[in-house]
Amino acid sequence: MWIHAFVCLLPIFAGPLPSLQDSTPRYIFGKAEAVDVDLLKVDGFVVNLRGVKAVTYKRKPEELDPIFHLQMMLDRQPVRCENLEKPNDFGKQRFLGTCYLVGKRTEVNLNRWVVANGFAKSFGTDEYREDEELAQKLEVGMWKNRSGLRLIRRGHRFPQFDKPDRGRSIGGGC
């Protein structure tokens, strides 16, 4: 009789059970692949790096692609992504988080690394703003030997970085 009463009242106290399909993992660990400078594929999950925005910029022919540099790091050690969020506009296997390259003795914050090396810009928070300013000061990555830097994102130019053409005639002439 007590068991019957317990079983009948259990749903009232327990409430609805969370769906296992909708749950966000606490962390993701495994081999990673660079899809973009701010986007990794880790153990079948896609993780956008929090606070980082990939920016396409004109590189000199001798410069290697930033994704190549990131992939070289990822090929050496596994990656752990944590503080995962699942924004509404992302798919089922896509998250926003902070990722670390896990070594035997050290961990490298990949979000900070891509900004500090001038491969991406700080975005949305001030967490990596100092790293971006240091990259500009040291002229690394997108900031290397560039006067009048022209950033390009999805084929659009940012006019605030363009220098006006002074003293140039448009019609050719003498």
For the stretch 6-25, pLDDT in tens is 455 544 445 454 444 556 78
Domain enclosing residue 60, as ranges: 22-154
Span 109-161, pLDDT tens digits: 999 999 999 999 999 888 999 999 999 999 998 888 654 444 444 444 444 43
CATH number of the CATH domain containing 80: 2.40.50.90
pLDDT above 90 coverage of the chain, percent: 43
DSSP sequence for 122-172 = E-SSSTTHHHHHHHHHHT-GGGTT-SS--EEETTEE-GGGPPP--S--SS-
With respect to residue 4, please indicate whether it lies within any of the assigned structural domains.
no
With respect to residue 96, please indicate whether it lies within any of the assigned structural domains.
yes
67, two tokens = 């994704």
* pTM, two decimal places: 0.68
Helix (H) or strand (E) holding 9: helix 2-14
With respect to residue 172, please indicate whether it lies within any of the assigned structural domains.
no
87 vs 55, which has greater pLDDT? 55
